């Protein structure tokens, strides 16, 4: 498989995962690069988790994320559910930059 067709497969699979994450109420952004290695960034519990697609050593394609997260690309809904499991929409969003600036102003 050529690098450009592998990149097309990766983009397509990550786009499917992004759609499923959005359907489940999560937040995800697909970063398309000029190379064959796009990355899907998923917001979970206030942090961004990068997700990539790799070709498995025994065949097939896999979503991988974090240190141990993985799922075969044939299980898009399961991968999305695992990535959205930590997502809590009920917690108020915090502006960490503003909080840091406020503490710095108080120290001056």
Summarize pLDDT for 22-33 with one digit per residue, the tens: 999 999 999 987
Q: What is the 3-state secondary structure of the chain? A: CCHHHHHHHHHHHHHHHHHHHHHCCCEEEEECCCCCCCEEEEEECCEEEEEEEEECCCCCEEEEECCCEEEECCCHHHHHHHHHCCCCCCCCCCCHHHHHHHHHHHHC
Whether 76 has a pLDDT exceeding 60, the answer reads: yes
pLDDT at residue number 92 = 46
Q: What is the pTM of this model?
A: 0.75
pLDDT at residue number 1 = 72
Report which of residues 72 and 88 the model is more confident about: 72
Confidence of residue 54 (pLDDT cuts 50, 70, 90): very high
């Amino acid at each position: 498989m050529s690098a450009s067709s592998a990149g097309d497969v990766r983009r397509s699979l990550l786009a499917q995962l992004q759609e499923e994450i959005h359907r489940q109420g999560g937040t995800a952004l697909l970063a398309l690069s000029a190379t064959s290695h796009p990355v899907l960034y998923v917001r979970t519990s206030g942090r961004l988790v990068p997700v990539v697609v790799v070709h498995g050593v025994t065949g097939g394609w896999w979503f991988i994320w974090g240190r141990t997260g993985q799922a075969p690309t044939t299980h898009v809904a399961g991968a999305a559910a695992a990535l959205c499991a930590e997502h809590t929409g009920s917690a108020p969003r915090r502006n960490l930059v503003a909080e840091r600036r406020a503490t710095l102003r108080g120290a001056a």
